[in-house]
A and B are shown apart, each in its own frame.
Chain A
Amino acid sequence: MAGGSWHNLRVMLRKGLSLLIVLHCAVLLVAPYRTAHDPTARDARDWLERYTRPLSFGVQWSFFAPEPGPPPVYVEWELLDREQKSLERGTWPETWDGFAIRERQNKRTQAGRFVSQNDLQAEAVLLPFLCKTHPGAHAVKLWRVQETLPRMEEVRSGQRKIGDRVGADHHYVSHSFCPEPGEQNG
């Protein structure tokens, strides 16, 4: 009798677990499609996100896809003083790459890709950061830069070299003033 009830409990447990597995696997399969335009699909996605977002499961698996890249992207900055004279120029991430283990630069490159996605992100992230780390700066100018990669035949024929920065697109982002001391908040 005890054996029978144990068996029933075991079967129930396995069925319950199976349901959870099916739901979880369905989410893992559906979650990568986040760009639904259909209203019903969008509603379903919003509901799904209550599961995927807390666990960080809403990942679009697209390593090196649909194209490998992106090509080198970064933000160029120029710091200005009160007379609008140039104090310093640089890029984020820095092109200097002297870390013994490249992982540290990879994180900076990834941050560079994020801030280079649009003007809002570039300005919102880098303006306060640059002002904070360069106390003498009064204003900051920003440009988003996207380089192009040379094709194989261009390198073969000597027309271009890897990393030559030919044809890089400089997109002007903003010329903004640093917040006055006391305005900055963490």
Chain B
Amino acid sequence: MTLSRWIKGVWSGWERFWFEAESELPVRVFRRVFAGLLLCFYALRTPDLMLFYSKNGILPLSVMETVMDMRWRFSLLRLFSGDLAVWGLHFLFLGALMALILDWRPRASAIVAFVLHVSFLHRNYMIAYGMDLISTFLLFNLCLTSKSGKTILDSVALRLCQFQVCVIYGYSGLEKLRGTSWWSGEALWFALANPQLARFDFTWLADYPGLIAFATWSSLLWEVYFPVLIWVPRLRYPVLVFGVLLHLGIALTINIPFFGLLMIVSYLTFVRPSELERLCLMFRQSVFKKSQVQPSGADQFSV
């Protein structure tokens, strides 16, 4: 094989991967479910809006600039810092997420949501954690998507979301290899024995060190190899199923349920369109059946 043919082969593979992905259904489904999750998550900050973002709250602008390196970090909340502006921008952000759920001007809505998300993030970085940080990348990718989900940029956005998930798991997994408790098999114990993290009292688990070690090592292995195994067609669904179980486990035991749900939602970008269609159909049928059952039940009741 000549060099030029090899280059042509690589280029056509690259084109197929980035520009010709079957993006229509995955992009549209992911966009709506992801926006729904973000809407729930960020609606919850409404009662604490003044505490975290107001000039009378815990971090006035003057204090923020002394404790955080704000170079190149722009925020609309630094330009409009009044309480009314904070409320207005918060509800505009929630509105943009609602528009994404309703599929109304999705690209413009995603851009508004992204700019406002980053603005809130940069206004008070000290309260940001995994959910906020991952959402930034996924929202950025959604800015590329169109209503139809069929354009070349939709394909790129889908691949970038997949790439981002691989980067997150790859780095987190490799970083864990530096920690002694991940090698000794005790890491999960230290998460569950931390009252700031754990949802319940897990004292009983101290009697099952083998179980803790198994869970620690299996999640570590899965995380390290995720960026590779997810691209092996036969292993894709086992890898995703393990991920769903792992994140559901985290959501149930550790007090960061939204983070787990976000990672599960990001898996939608890996599901093949035909199977995603089946999933959507199953979901619709279950909802439809329920709504059909209710009227008949009501009729029987009235008789």
Contact = CB atoms under 8 A, between A and B. Distances in A.
- B is bound to A: yes
Interface of A: 13-14, 17-18, 21, 24-25, 28-29, 32, 49-50, 53-57, 59-69, 71-72, 101-111, 114-115, 120-121, 124-125, 128-129, 132, 149-153, 155-156, 161-163, 185-186
B194 interface: yes
The contact size tier of chain B is 35 or more
Contacts of B181: 67-68
B118 A53 contact: no
Contact of B168 (A50, A61, A152, A161): A61
Contact of A56 (B19, B130, B133, B176): B133
Contact of B73 (A53, A67, A114, A152): A53
Given A63-B130, A66-B177, 15 more contacts: A17-B19, A66-B175, A68-B179, A72-B195, A102-B199, A103-B41, A107-B45, A110-B129, A111-B127, A125-B63, A152-B206, A155-B193, A155-B203, A162-B201, A186-B56
B173 to A, nearest CB: 8
**Shortest 10 CB-CB contacts between residues of A and residues of B:** A66-B179, A53-B72, A186-B55, A114-B126, A61-B171, A65-B175, A66-B178, A155-B206, A65-B176, A68-B191
B118 to A, nearest CB: 5
Interface of B: 14-15, 18-19, 41, 44-45, 47-48, 52, 55-63, 66-67, 71-74, 118, 121-122, 126-130, 133, 136-137, 140, 152, 156, 160, 163-164, 167-168, 170-172, 175-182, 186-191, 193-199, 201-203, 205-207, 209, 212, 255-258
Contacts of A21: 18, 156, 160
A89 B159 CA distance: 52
Contacts of B201: 162
Contacts of B118: 54-56
Given A56-B136, A149-B190, A124 B203 contact: no
Contact of A125 (B59, B187, B257): B59
The secondary-structure label for the interface of chain A is helix
B156 A104 contact: no
A54 B186 contact: no
Contacts of B188: 68
A32 B171 contact: yes
8 contacts: A17-B18, A28-B167, A53-B72, A66-B177, A68-B194, A69-B191, A104-B44, A132-B56
Contacts of B190: 67-69, 71, 149
B204 to A, nearest CB: 9
A120 B63 CA distance: 11
A163 B195 contact: yes
A101 B44 contact: yes
Contacts of A55: 118, 136, 140
Given A71-B194, A103-B258, A152 B172 contact: no
Contacts of B160: 21, 24-25
Contacts of A162: 193, 195, 198, 201-203
Nearest to B122: A56
Contact of B209 (A24, A59, A152): A152
A121 B133 contact: no
A54 B133 contact: no
A24 B188 CA distance: 34
Given A56-B121, A63-B130, A152 B189 contact: yes
A66 B176 contact: yes
Given A54-B72, A151-B186, A185-B62, A64 B172 contact: yes
B191 A64 contact: yes
Contact of A109 (B62, B172, B196, B209): B196
A105 to B, nearest CB: 8
A143 B28 CA distance: 50
A57 to B, nearest CB: 7
A61 B167 contact: yes
Contacts of B163: 25, 28
A103 B167 contact: no
Contacts of B60: 128, 185-186
